[in-house]
Amino acid sequence: MKKQLITVPLAILILLQAISLFRIGSLQSEITNLNNQISGLQTIQSSLANSIYNNVENLLKKQGSIIDSYDFSVGDVDKDGYKVPVTFSVTPKESSTDTTAVLILSGEDIAMERIGTTYKATGNISIFDGLSATIILSENGTDRTEKLGDFGMLMEKFIPSYFVTFDGQSSYIKKNGEAAGTYERRGNITLEFHNAGNAYFKEAALVTEIDGIIADESAIADRQVLQVNKKFELSAGQTLVMYVRAVDSLGLVHKKVTTGFTLDAEGNPDDDEYWLWDNKETILDGDGNILHTSYDGY
């Protein structure tokens, strides 16, 4: 009987403890939810404050601007000179029939034509240049200048790009008693094209040159895995360069160097191989003239 009397209170205590633990867990969950709600409200307040600040800043800029509105358009690429026509239309807040306007388009001064209360001008800009525009309004010997903006690199809009990946290894074995050896490259190479507007890549190849002379060339297509297993005999002082060459629909030739390897006068590697994956790109015209070189994208 005494044992039963002890068991009943013990069971009650265990039940009460379980209820207490459940309530504590419930309270912790409620506290976590409240903290999340507070954090969410703080984020909303911060976002709202930034929005108000930006709106006020834009309003102040507009109030201090001499321009009521402007817009611009970009035409098609001239495949001979690799330029595009860029047309700006600008409406000042105040002007008269005596007001003249000059558009500075990527460093070139262009007189603007007045049409009603709007001034308009067109200039031809290289697709390898950045697009920037400034307007100068002149009247009775007084000039008012305002920068319309920097609008980025035109080549991002008109010139396709590609990305190269390589999974593999290389080796060099020097010949006994000779200032020469065998360079070997093995692995898989993949090419990924990215079109730009109407421009696209027509063809591509993995090219190997030795002292500037093509020693090997293998065609490669978009997203194709090309198996590479090449051996090249090199002599003292020679340099081997591997690169991906791609020709786009504008007639531009893109070269991305993947590997360079040079032997010294004794037939030993002059320097370690260097890797420039998606880093250095040279763009040439159909005659081999270098038009643009980039070491970190556009």
State the Cα angle at 135 between 134 and 136, rounded to 5°. 130
Q: Where are the beta strands (DSSP E) in 175-237?
A: 180-194, 201-210, 213-219, 225-235
Q: What value does the mean pLDDT take over residues 4-22?
A: 60
Residue 47: enclosing H or E segment and its boundaries?
helix 2-64
Contact 179/235 with Cβ under 8 angstroms? yes
pLDDT of residue 275: 47
pLDDT value at position 59? 43
The pLDDT value given to residue 35 = 60
C-alpha gyration radius of the chain = 34
Instruction: Give the mean model confidence (pLDDT) for residues 245-251.
Output: 95
Report the C-alpha gap between 157 and 137 in whole angstroms.
30
Task: For the chain, list the domains and their CATH numbers.
Answer: 67-155 (2.60.40.2450), 159-294 (2.60.40)
pLDDT of res. 27: 63
Sheet holding 118-126, edge to edge: 67-74, 83-92, 118-126, 113-115
As given in the structure block, the two tokens for residue 99 are 């007001």
Strands (E), the chain: 67-74, 83-92, 100-105, 108-111, 113-115, 118-126, 130-139, 142-153, 161-174, 180-194, 201-210, 213-219, 225-235, 239-248, 253-262, 281-284, 290-294
Residues in the chain: 298
Q: Are 136 and 144 in contact (CB under 8 A)?
A: yes
For residue 171, pLDDT beyond 50: yes
Sheet arrangement for strand 239-248 = 213-219, 201-210, 239-248, 253-262, 281-284, 290-294
Q: Which residues contact 225 (CB under 8 A, 6 or more apart)?
A: 188, 189, 190
Q: For 100-128, what is each residue's pLDDT tens digit?
A: 999 999 889 999 999 999 999 999 999 99
What is residue 46's three-state secondary structure?
A: helix
Contact status, residue 137 vs residue 230, Cβ threshold 8 Å: no
| Residue bearing the bigger pLDDT, 190 or 271 | 190
- In angstroms, the CA 226 to CA 248 distance is 20
pLDDT at 224: 81
* Average pLDDT of every residue of the chain: 82
Residue appearing with tokens 């591997």: 242
Task: Give the whole-angstrom CA distance, residue 95 versus residue 162.
Answer: 48
